[in-house]
Amino acid sequence: MEKQKTVRTLESQKKELQDQIEDIQKSCKHPELNANFIQDDNGGNKKVMMLCTECDAAVRYPTSAELKDFCS
């Protein structure tokens, strides 16, 4: 069961890293946003969100004007 052990270790490291990312994103003021594609939570679909240029957090959906800028 060597693989299972490795997977479990990696999973717990992954959770730790995700917590660290979350902490950074929570403390960030998101001073500048940029429209970009991100992976949808449930599935492989990509959607456009406004991402913080500092911490990469998906802050909000783009307005139609921002979406138009992004697509042009």
Q: Which stretches of the chain bind Zn ion, using CB under 5 A?
A: 28, 30, 52, 54-55, 57
Q: How far apart are CA 61 and CA 37, in angstroms?
A: 11
Residues 6 or more apart in contact with residue 61 via CB below 8 angstroms: 48, 49, 50
Amino acid present at 21: I
Q: Which is nearer to Zn ion, 10 or 24 (CB)?
A: 24
Cβ of residue 53: shortest distance to Zn ion, in angstroms?
A: 8
Between 13 and 53, name the residue whose CB sits nearer to Zn ion. Answer: 53
CB of 13 to Zn ion, least distance (A): 23
